[in-house]
Structure 1
Amino acid sequence: MVSPTGTGDGDATDDGAPVGDAVRERGATLTDPSEVAIALVEYGDGLATAVESALAGRSGVVAYGVPLGLLPSILEARKRTDDGAPWRIACRPGAVDALGRALVLGTDAAEAVADGSIVLRTLPGDEGLRDVASVSGSATVTGFGSLVFATPDRADAVAGPRQEPTLLSETGDSTATAVFHAATTRFEAATPATVSMPSRTGLLAAAREVLDDRFATDLAAVLDGLDYGELGRSGAVADRTLLVALAARHDQLFRDLRRWIDGEGAAGGASERDVDRVAVAPSQELTDDRRALVRRELIESIKVPMGPGRPKLRLRAVDEALLRARPTEVLSVLRGRFALPLDESGTLRRGADGGGRRPVWDR
């Protein structure tokens, strides 16, 4: 028997325009919307909540055709499930690749892969977009294409057009079993996928070794406090901007921050960097973020002679708000400062008092 278990929040436009247009229109009201944030908007809170509720507590889930926007729901449902068997998730093309550009969601997904909770694969080509019959055979899955979640005793599929997606369920008969076997076959035919982001545990362990405990503690608090779509790889304040600012709060060497970002930690030094390391981002990309923070008078770079060769740069926070903020408030401080205008020379335009920086004698 087919029953609806949830719907989306109507993200398509009333005139039937593609949902992508609606996403872009809504995304314009966000502050530098991340790739994950846009994907979450596309699938809507209603469908995401329905998927999480439908999957939580089930054993041995096999999913087929999963997009980036529903991966957070699967991860949250898996955390709520005490099940030793891994969940097998076959994603649409591009979904797993996007995790390598999503600090919060990517490290969480990599953690689930590392501990064996989830196995990720990628469907070939447009396989994940192919329309298929619903679990009952009485309706056609359209708009979102083939999107199925199955266990031996229950199958769920997304049906309906994009503007009104519904999660339909079938339990306890041969149809559910057939869908489970079909989903398993399609998962096995998909390509094994690697998350190009370190696991949350590995990232923090490397931060403690390459940098220090204070930085790692700050970072852990930040990651725990951020929503999956709140921070991305692009925009005025990106994930790299936040990491440079956190390092400056603890007077870290820019060289050491780059080593950690680039994946050169306890698991692999320079001789193993092409084998074992998993980078958060290319280390050369940090320079622009460092310079942007200096222009905004949030941090400064101090040249420190350390043996032969060029002097090293030490990062130091010079803004009182950045120094005094709790870790979970740092992103808000950065966004507030980056919202201020720059003058024609590219430096921060301030009011008459010019306040905000710590005086040089205090630094």
Structure 2
Amino acid sequence: WVLGTVWWLYSYITTWWSGVLIGKCVIHGTSRGAGCSYPEMMAEAFGAPGYAFTAAMQILTYYLVNVYLLVAVADWFLLSQDVLVVQGVSASWCLCDYLVVSGVIAAILAQIRTFKRVLPFAAVSLASTALRQGIMYYQIGSYSLMSECEPKFGGVTAHSAVISLSTTAFLFGGHGLFPEEIREMRRPESYFGALHASYVIIGAVYATNAYVGYAVWGQWTAADIQTNWPLNNATLVSAVLSIVWGLVEMAMSHVMMLSLVESHLGLGRPGGRRGGALRVLARTAVVVSEVFFAFMFSAAGLGNLEGVVAAFGFTALTYYAPFAAYWKLFLRPRQAALGVQLCYGAVCLSGVLLTLAGLYASLAGGGRD
């Protein structure tokens, strides 16, 4: 209870403020004629090395996110199948079959090129999150789990603590898309209000899910809490909603990742029918490669995959890069108080340490699994 709360508060406060810093850095850069992408924001602070580092981290991070999401969506297809089998429906597809199905749908959605076009799907994703939250409470209430179960608490190890912090970082991993989303806003200044509103929603959803789930299942709480539920119609609905959510998240990450790749390959410029065909083939090929790696890593476990993705890239794009950029663009030129600069440095260093510890723990856990 205590350590989890500390981890959660650290991530919540740190990532909220890093989101604010991203907005300030992007708007500062555009006022000086710099671009609005995350790599361009970092280039404004650290030059070409900053651009190269951030572009590589964006592409690799969200590529791995999509690999994880493909595995997760395939697992949710399997969960849906398990419910149907209990109800007497004959079905025997395996994880590999559902990875292919997920990949086909993801390849179609990967052709969406702007956040504006994916926005309606994002609304569906938010609705699915709210509905799944309600289903969890329904499951708990319908089966009197609070009175019938006797969960055990504690049992925290150094490995589980680091994995927990890494997976918590995964929950706050959207920052790598923020500059590109600001670029498409008619009024970039409204980004800050949207960020604050989002964090109110995030705080309410995460807190009411995590604390209630842990109170009911304790050490039995699975990486995907839906697998703690009975195989009933409510679980089926939740699994289907999770599939929708996962596919939408992949579509959003593909918007940023593939646009960045295309800009460097010259596929983002108008090129007639041939250029459009090449773009479709290139985007589809990327999704096919993601499906391939999803096959390879599907046995590692969702918790370990989350930890690897979060520790590798989300910590960079969320926990320490924004603080470093803000220090270089604002604090250092304005000769801010030494204590303030040291605080920013400490948060930046904590993100680097989380990267190293999280990668080690997640890779070690994946190897054992």
TM-score scaled by structure 1? 0.25
TM-score scaled by structure 2? 0.24
Q: Which has the higher contact order (CA 8 A, sep 6+)?
A: 2
Give the structure with the higher percent helix: 2
